[in-house]
Amino acid sequence: MAASSWFRLLSFLMVLVALAGCGTRADTERTDPYANLFKGVKYVGSKKCAACHTEIYDAFLQSEMGRSMSVLDEASLIERFPQKQAVYEPNKNFLYEMYKRDGKFYQREYRLDKTGTLVHERSVGAEYVMGSGNNLRMYFRYENGMLYELPLTWYSHSTKWDMSPGFRDFNNLRFRRFASVRCLMCHNAIAEERPNANDRYDMPLPLGIGCERCHGPGEKHVREMTNTPPGTDLLTIVNPRKLPHEQQLDICQQCHLQAKAWAPYQEAKVT
C-alpha cells in the first residue's frame, strides 16, 4: 500500500477514535483536575459557603458531621447527670466521675485507700465535646494551644459513662492525651495550626466537620464565583457528585476505614 494510502487510513482511524470519545463520558465521570487542589489554595471556613449555599449549609449543620464538635453547654446535654456510679480504672487504680457545677462541667479523678479514705483528687474542666451523640460524646479541655482528651466518655448506645476510647488499651493517659492534627482532620473542621508548634491551635476553634473536608479548600472557588456569572462551571472546587464512584469512596475513606457497624436489635417475640 502506498504511503499516502497509509496516511489516509491512519487519519481516518484517529478521527473515529476521537468521535467515539465524544459524548460518551458522563459528566459524573469527568477526571479534570480541580483548581482548588493545586498547591497554595487556602481553606476559608464553612461560613463562606453559607453566603451562596444557605439551605445546604443550614441542613448540614444538623447532620452528624455538622455536629461532630461543639462547646459543651447545658443546651446540648444528652448525658445523665448526676453520674450514678464512678468508673473504676484498674491500671492506675483511679476512679472517675463527671459532674456539673455553676453551669460548668468537670471530670474528677480520685483514689481511695483500703479504708475508703480519699488520698488523691483532681478535677479538670470539660470545655468541648467531640461526637454528635448518635454514638458517643468525648470531652476536651483547651490549654496552651492544645486540646486534651478527658478520661470519661458518654456512650449513647449503652447510655452509660465509661473510659474514653484507647484509655484502657494504652495504660490510661489520664489528662495528658492530646488531639493531634490527624485526629482533628477527621473529627472536626480544618483547624489553624500554629506555624512553629506541632498540634497547637489558635482560637477560635472551628466547630464541626466543615464543607471543605470533602470539597477541598475553598479560597479559589469563593474568589472566582464571586466574579463569575451564575451557571459557569470553572471546576474551582471538588464536587463529589461528579466524581466516579471509586473516587467518591476515596473521599469517604480518608476517615471512614474502621470496620464497625451499628445495627438495631430487638428481642424476638415468641408466640
Residue with cell 446535654: 77
- Quick one: pLDDT at residue 120? 97
Confidence band, pLDDT 50/70/90 cuts, at residue 264:
low
Assess whether pLDDT exceeds 50 at residue 13: no
Q: Tell me: pLDDT of 263 over 70.
A: no
Q: Which amino acid is at 206?
A: P
Q: pLDDT tens for residues 240-261?
A: 998 999 999 998 988 888 666 6
Instruction: Work out the average pLDDT over 189-203.
Output: 87
Give the largest Cα separation in the chain, rounded.
106
pLDDT at 19: 39
pLDDT-derived band at 7 (thresholds 50, 70, 90) equals very low
Residue-wise pLDDT for 24-62, tens only, equals 444 444 455 788 888 889 999 999 999 899 999 999 999
pTM for this predicted structure: 0.76
Residue 58 has what pLDDT?
A: 94
Whole-number Å distance between alpha carbons of 138 and 147: 12
Lowest mean pLDDT among 7-16, 93-102, 195-204: 7-16
Per-residue exposure over 232-242, b if at least 16 CB sit within 10 Å of its own CB, e if not: eeebbbbeeeb
Query: Per the structure block, which three cell numbers stand in for 112?
Result: 481511695
Confidence category of residue 235, pLDDT binned at 50, 70, 90:
confident
The pLDDT of residue 2 is above 90: no
Task: Give residue-wise pLDDT tens across range 198-207.
Answer: 899 988 888 9
What band does 76 get if pLDDT is binned at 50, 70 and 90?
A: confident
- Cα 127 from Cα 144, distance rounded (Å): 14
Calculated CA dihedral for residues 55, 57, 63, 66, nearest 10 degrees: -170
Q: What is the predicted pLDDT for the residue at 154?
A: 96
Query: CB-side exposure of 166: number of CA atoms within 13 Å?
Result: 10
- Which residues make Cβ contacts (< 8 Å) with residue 98, sequence separation at least 6? 79, 81, 83, 105, 106, 107, 108, 126, 139, 152, 161
DSSP of 217-237: --HHHHHHHHTS-TT-----S
State mean pLDDT over 215-219.
92
Cα separation, 214 vs 113, whole angstroms: 51
Backbone φ and ψ for 109, nearest 5 degrees, come out as -110, 130
The span from the CA of 163 to the CA of 68, in Å, is: 19
pLDDT score at 54: 94
11, pLDDT greater than 70: no
| pLDDT on residue 224 | 86
Q: Note the pLDDT of residue 18.
A: 43
Say how many residues make up the chain: 271
Residue 3: pLDDT over 60: no
Per DSSP (E only), the strands in the chain are: 69-71, 87-89, 94-101, 104-112, 118-125, 128-130, 136-143, 146-155, 160-163
Order of strands, edge to edge, in the sheet holding 160-163? Answer: 69-71, 128-130, 136-143, 146-155, 160-163
Sign of the Cα pseudo-torsion (239, 240, 241, 242, in order) = positive
| pLDDT reported for residue 267 | 63
User: Pick from 36, 32, 31, 39: which is nearest to 246 by CA?
Assistant: 31
Instruction: Quickly count helices (H) and strands (E) in the chain.
Output: 7, 9
More confident residue, 33 or 8: 33
